Each structure stands twice: as structure tokens, then as C-alpha cells.
Structure 1
Amino acid sequence: MKVNIGVPDKHLQAVANRLQVLLADEHVLYTKTRNFHWNVVGDNFSEMHLFYEKQYGELAEIIDEVAERIRMIGHFSTGRLGDFLKLTNLVEQEYTDKQTQQVKYLLDDHETIIRSLREMITEFADKHKDLGSSDFVTGLLRQHEKMAWMLRSYVTK
């Protein structure tokens, strides 16, 4: 059934397209975080294992919310791993069990997503007149800023 929420179809399509890229970014970041959770080593293994688990849990919720937002505005959500890898702005780095490098990789990814979300906030509101999606990504911005701050607190240099 067609969505009739006061935003033209072409604008909803443009918003959905940007959200598909965000969905891909969130999936790649989730997978990286989960990988580091499995492969962390060091004298604070337990702390970092739980820290990564908390972060990937939050990312799992974000993934679901982004996919549902795409559905709310009348489009189907991407769900294939190959599509995520084609759409993502993030880069898969080499495997590492070094905590400092893991944290830096995740921090870089969160900051990439944060910059993208900042662009979406104004684009969705001003260009596409979709205040609901603008508000939605504003909430995600706050979540990623908090996760980035937590990661940044582990980086000493």
C-alpha cells in the first residue's frame, strides 16, 4: 500500500536510499564489533569482552530501527550481505587482536557514521521535507556520539 504521509514519493525514495547506506554501515560496524568481541586478548580481556558485547547489542537495536524506518516510509530494506558490502562507506581492515587498534578501527567507523548522520539531518529536513526521518537520524547521531566517546576513552594517543 502506498505511503501518504505528506512527503512526495521521490523524496521518500531519496531518504530510503540514504538509509540503505546507513543500514549497510551499521551492519558492517556491528560485524566488526562482534569480531573484536570474539578475538580480544589482554589483561583486561573480561572488561573489553563485555564492553564490545554492549556495543554490538546497541548496534543490533539500531540496525532493526533503521530497517524499520525504511519500511515505515514505504520501501523494502536491504538484507543481503553482498548488498551491504557494496553500499557501505566503511572499510574492512586486517584482522587484529590488539585492543588499541581494534578500538581505533571502531572509533573511526563511528566517526564516519556520525559525519554521515549530520549530513542526513539537514538533507532530510531541508531538501526532502521529511522531518520524521530527520528526527530519527538525530537520535541515532546521539547514540553513535556516545559510543564513540566510550571508545575514545580507551585511546591514550
Structure 2
Amino acid sequence: MKANIGITETDTNAVAEQLAKLLADENILYIKTRNAHWNVTGENFHANHIFFEEQYKQLDGIIDSVAERIRKIGHYAPATMKIYLELTHLTEYSERTNDGLGYMKDLLADHESIIEFLRGNITPFAEEFKDYGTSDFITGLMESHEEMAWMIRSYFR
């Protein structure tokens, strides 16, 4: 059944396309964070292991909320790795390292990329596509990623 929520189908299509890219980015970041959690080594292993676990758990909630937002505006959420790899703005690890700071450097760049993507969509979602709910939603996500990025950034002197 079509969602009759006061936003044109053309506009919900445009918003859903951007949210699908975001969902892809969030899933790739989740996988990379799980990788860091599983494979980190070094003298700060335990602290890093726990830190990455906290981060991937937070990302799990974000992923679910993005997929549900896509459904709320009347579209189906993409849900395969093949599609995520086609849609994502992110890349695999730039260099293979298992030390905590190496993982953090790469994950920080991904969070910052997502923050820029979110920031760039806040106004268009509200003004161009008249989807104030999604604009507000991604503003909250941006703030979550800003906090996660700050936590990672704090590991560096």
C-alpha cells in the first residue's frame, strides 16, 4: 500500500535513494567496526576491543533506524551486500593493520564522510523534498556520528 504522508511520490523516491546510500554506508562502517573489534591487537587490546564493541552496537541501532525510516516513507530498504557495495561512499580499509590506532584512523575518516553526507542532505530533505521528518531524523544521526567521531578522535593526541 502506498504511503499517503503528505509528500509526493517523486520526493519520497528522491529521499529514499539518499537514505539507501546512507544505509549502505552504515552497513559498511558496521562491518569495518566489527572487523576492528575481532582483529585488533596490541598493548591496548582489551580497551580497544571493548571500545569497538560499543561502537558497532551503536551502529547496529542506527542501521535499523535508517531501514525503518525508508519503510516509513513508503519504500523498501535495500538489504544485500551486493547493493550496499554499489551504493556506498566508503571503501575497504586503506591499509591492512591490526593495531587500534590504525583501525581508528580509518573508522574516523568514515564517520566524517557520513557526517558530511548527512549535513549535505538536511536542508534538501526539508526544503526541496518537503520531508521535514527525515531532515530531523538525519540531523539526529549526524549528531550521533559526531559523538562517535569525537570518541575516536580522543584517542589521538
TM-score (norm 2): 0.97
Q: Aligned partner of 1:7: which letter?
A: I
Q: List gaps (5 residues or longer) in structure 2.
A: none
SS in structure 1 at match of 2:97 = coil
Aligned to 2:109: 108
Aligned to 2:29: 29
1:58 aligns with 2:58: yes
SS in structure 2 at match of 1:103 = helix
Distance 1:46 1:101 in 2: 16
Aligned to 1:124: 125
- Displacement over 2 Å in runs of 4+: none
Aligned to 2:8: 8
Q: List gaps (5 residues or longer) in structure 1.
A: none
Aligned to 1:152: 153
Distance 2:96 2:131 in 1: 40
Q: Aligned partner of 1:154: which letter?
A: Y
SS in structure 2 at match of 1:63 = helix
Distance 1:95 1:127 in 2: 41
1:83 aligns with 2:83: yes
Aligned to 1:69: 69
Q: Aligned partner of 1:155: which letter?
A: F
TM-score (norm 1): 0.97
SS in structure 2 at match of 1:91 = coil
CA contact (8 A) 2:23 2:67 kept: yes
- Spell out, residue by residue over 1:51-107, the C-alpha distance to the aligned partner (whole angstroms, 9 max, x if none): 000000000000000000000000000000011001000011243202221100000
Identity across aligned pairs (percent)?
A: 54
Q: How many residues align?
A: 156
Alignment root-mean-square deviation, CA: 0.7
Aligned to 1:17: 17
Aligned to 1:142: 143
Distance 1:121 1:68 in 2: 18
CA contact (8 A) 2:15 2:125 kept: yes
CA contact (8 A) 2:97 2:103 kept: yes
